[in-house]
């Protein structure tokens, strides 16, 4: 009996879908998620347009799959690498250092894809913006939780303005991203780390009197 077994067919389809998402993530890092075209992706992969879109149904579904993959990579690369650190300042510092390392990357994968796409979709309502907003909100919750742990442990003053500090830490990451991608500043990572350490230094006071 000839033909492909159902199990093999499912496995190969899943592998092809993964390959499409990975290539789309790479191309989207350069062209932006909106600039990602099925035609370009199909040519790059040596597939037909129908073969590419057939795994997702619509371009938006493909874009959402790319966002999901970017979120998972960020989760594993940034907070995932900080899991072994002590909760509070140590873990949060490690996480931000991992994020900066992640943004530094290599020539093909510079910057943080999620950060770039967030700016691309900040005024475009819809499922993609919602997915990005959910991911960034979870990150903000993570930072807030670690800062609260630091306050509880006495690593930060009891009157620390946690929402403000969360905002400022996020601002440093955005500055690092811009310096890496736009100005190609070779000191961006070092400056970012110095700023993170300065903000999280327990001798600093964040809050009122």
User: So where are the chain's domains?
Assistant: 60-200
* Alpha-carbon dihedral sign for residues 195, 169, 128, 45: positive
Share of the chain above pLDDT 90, in %: 73
Phi-psi category of residue 57: left, alpha or beta, with phi > 0 → left and psi -120 to 50 → alpha: left
Residue 167, CA distances (Å) to 21, 76, 137, 172, 185 in order:
31, 23, 12, 9, 23
Residue 185, CA distances (Å) to 150, 188, 202 in order:
32, 5, 29
Give the tokens for residue 150.
Answer: 């630091």
pLDDT digits (tens, 9 = 90+) for 161-192: 999 999 999 999 999 999 998 899 999 999 99
Exposed, middle or buried: residue 108 (CB in 10 Å: 0-12, 13-18, 19+)?
exposed
Q: Degrees (nearest 5) of the Cα angle 125, 36, 118?
A: 40
CB count within 10 Å of CB 146 equals 28
Share of the chain above pLDDT 70, in %: 90
Whether the predicted pLDDT of 45 surpasses 90 = yes
Q: Which CATH number is 60-200 given?
A: 1.10.357.10
d(CA 115, CA 99): 11
d(CA 153, CA 57): 50
Residue 133: the pLDDT is 94
Residue 108: the pLDDT is 58
Mean pLDDT to the nearest integer, 41-57:
93
Pure H helices in the chain: 6-31, 38-45, 49-53, 59-77, 89-104, 113-120, 127-152, 162-181, 188-200
Taking a C-beta distance cutoff of 8 angstroms, is the pair 189, 176 a contact? yes
Mean pLDDT to the nearest integer, 142-156:
97
Whether the predicted pLDDT of 156 surpasses 90 = yes
Give the tokens for residue 1.
Answer: 């009996």
CB count within 10 Å of CB 156 equals 25
Residue 24: the pLDDT is 92
* Average model confidence (pLDDT) across the chain: 89
Residue 41: the pLDDT is 93
């Amino acid at each position: 009996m000839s033909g492909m077994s159902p199990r093999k067919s499912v496995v190969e389809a899943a592998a092809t879908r993964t390959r499409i998402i990975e290539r789309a993530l790479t191309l989207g890092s350069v062209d932006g998620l909106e600039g990602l075209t099925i035609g370009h992706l199909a040519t790059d992969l040596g597939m037909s347009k129908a073969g590419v879109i057939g795994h997702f149904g619509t371009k938006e579904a493909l874009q959402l799959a790319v966002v999901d993959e970017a979120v998972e990579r960020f989760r594993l690369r940034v907070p995932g690498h900080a899991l072994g650190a002590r909760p509070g300042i140590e873990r949060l510092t490690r996480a931000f250092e991992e994020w900066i390392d992640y943004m530094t990357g290599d020539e093909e994968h510079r910057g943080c894809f999620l950060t770039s796409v967030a700016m691309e979709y900040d005024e475009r309502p819809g499922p993609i913006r919602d997915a990005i907003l959910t991911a960034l909100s979870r990150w903000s919750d993570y930072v807030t939780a670690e800062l609260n742990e630091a306050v509880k442990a006495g690593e930060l003053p009891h009157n620390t303005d946690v929402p403000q500090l969360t905002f400022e830490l996020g601002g440093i990451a955005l500055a690092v991203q811009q310096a890496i991608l736009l100005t190609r500043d070779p000191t961006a990572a070092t400056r970012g780390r110095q700023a993170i350490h300065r903000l999280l230094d327990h001798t600093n006071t964040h809050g009122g009197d």
